[in-house]
């Protein structure tokens, strides 16, 4: 099915690709659609759910303006996946040692590398534009302890929350490596800094907003230019972070008792919290995908389920109504606090049966029951993507 709901009593329409949407999320979409900077309509993906200011799972095309809070603080967060020459029969019956090997190579949660693991040319390529940015906005450096060595050492690290590293089996029992992470601490402080700066700018100009978290920068202003530069830098950082993690995971697997293997399919790497300059409905716009991936015609993407469900490699259909976009995952149905209150460790053990992963209270906020049914999400976006591969995780590493 195509669009399930459409809201028309707004400045521009809202097109929603699901019936499973909370009233609070609809309120947020209405607020966005009433902004004077939004072009043509707002699209909400099947995994849509409540966010801060802007709805997670929303695609927002803007004319000559950008909304920092719509991008959020995990700038450039996204996915990386690659198929290996390994098959299910190459994996041991007990995968605990495999998970431990990965965790020993890739710092998770609040941990990072004791020294930079990235080659000097890569760091140098990131250094110059960041120096220019913090030269204009030195307060950014004060927001992250040990700013320079921290961002260096966090390259190639996972972080916490819903970020993960997985080994998965596809429909042919081929083994895939899949991971999910973003721009770490440096992306977080860049996001928070510019969100607050946008709020101050709009207060200074006495511009009314339905939600202060929807404060935006208009093109032509210095802060607009600086933010676009900052978000592009953070997106590149997130991209490199995932590439470096993938190398470390491959090294960890090669150092284990698994047979020798190669990577047999070019890696798929896609952002799902980012901005992009694109043309839609006859206008050159800035598209903000907040919890959505690009799904242009024949473009490959990754849509993960929860840590106990299937994930998908997809090929985009280039849908105009979704601004060539699709869902970025299953989407939460309850907050982390609610999940911890509603489920037990026994529930977690049951819902992640067959997956080698942590099964303790620290993982309850990521329990599959806190997420939408990924199969229903996929059914709701049959007009947006075709499924190329169906993956089921057998190892899941989280922070």
Alpha-carbon distance 174 to 343, whole Å? 33
328 labelled catalytic = yes
Annotated catalytic residue within 41, 152, 163, 328: 328
| Contact criterion met (CB below 8 Å) for 143 and 34 | no
- Pairing mode, strands 42-49 and 14-16: parallel
Contact 150, 189 (CB under 8 A): no
| Measured distance CA(127)–CA(59) in Å, rounded | 31
DSSP code per residue over 128-195: HHHHHHHHH-THHHHTSTTHHHHHHHHTT---STT-EEEEEE-TT-EEEEEEEE--HHHHHHHHHHHH
Comparing C-alpha atoms, which of 225, 40, 247 is closest to residue 156? Answer: 247
3-state helix, strand, coil in the chain (%, to 5): 35, 25, 40
- Whether 156 and 113 have beta carbons less than 8 Å apart is answered as yes
Alpha helices in the chain (DSSP H): 23-33, 68-71, 96-105, 120-136, 139-142, 147-154, 184-204, 222-254, 336-342, 345-351, 374-380
DSSP string, 225-251: HHHHHHHHHHHHHHHHHHHHHHHHHHH
Q: Which of 337, 340, 294 is nearest to 314 (CA)?
A: 294
Active-site residue list = 328
């Amino acid at each position: 099915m195509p669009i399930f709901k459409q809201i028309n009593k707004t400045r521009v329409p809202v097109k929603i690709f699901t019936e499973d949407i909370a009233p609070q999320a609809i309120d947020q979409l209405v607020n966005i659609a009433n902004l004077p900077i939004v072009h043509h309509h707002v699209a909400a993906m099947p995994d849509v759910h409540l966010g801060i200011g802007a709805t997670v799972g929303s695609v927002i095309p803007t004319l000559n303006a950008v909304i920092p809070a719509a991008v959020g603080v995990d700038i450039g967060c996204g996915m990386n996946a690659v198929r290996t020459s390994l098959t299910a029969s190459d994996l041991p019956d007990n995968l605990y040692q495999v998970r431990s090997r990965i965790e020993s190579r890739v710092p998770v949660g609040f941990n990072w590398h004791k020294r930079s693991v990235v080659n000097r040319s890569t760091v140098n390529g990131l250094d110059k534009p960041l120096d220019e940015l913090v030269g204009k906005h030195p307060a950014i450096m004060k927001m992250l302890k040990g700013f320079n060595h921290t961002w260096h050492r966090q390259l190639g690290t996972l972080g916490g929350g819903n970020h993960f590293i997985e080994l998965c089996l596809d429909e042919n029992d081929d083994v895939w490596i899949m991971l999910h992470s973003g721009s770490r601490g440096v992306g977080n402080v860049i996001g928070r800094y510019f969100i607050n700066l946008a709020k101050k700018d709009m207060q200074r100009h006495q511009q009314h907003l339905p939600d202060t978290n929807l404060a935006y920068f208009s093109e032509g202003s210095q802060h607009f230019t600086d933010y676009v530069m900052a978000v592009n830098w953070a997106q590149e950082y997130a991209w490199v972070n995932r590439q470096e993690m993938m190398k470390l995971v491959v090294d960890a697997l090669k150092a284990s008792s698994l047979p020798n293997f190669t990577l047999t399919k070019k890696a798929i790497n896609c952002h799902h919290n980012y901005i992009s300059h694109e043309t839609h409905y006859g206008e050159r716009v800035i598209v903000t995908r907040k919890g959505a991936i690009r799904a242009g015609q024949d473009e490959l993407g990754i849509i993960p389920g929860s840590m106990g469900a299937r994930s998908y490699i997809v090929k985009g259909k280039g849908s105009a109504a979704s601004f060539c976009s699709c869902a970025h995952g299953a989407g939460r149905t309850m907050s982390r606090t609610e999940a911890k209150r509603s489920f037990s460790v026994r529930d977690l053990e049951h819902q992640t049966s067959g997956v080698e992963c942590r099964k303790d209270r620290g993982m309850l906020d990521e329990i599959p029951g806190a997420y939408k049914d990924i199969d229903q999400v996929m059914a709701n976006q049959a007009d947006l993507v075709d499924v190329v591969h169906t993956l089921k995780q057998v190892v899941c590493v989280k922070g």
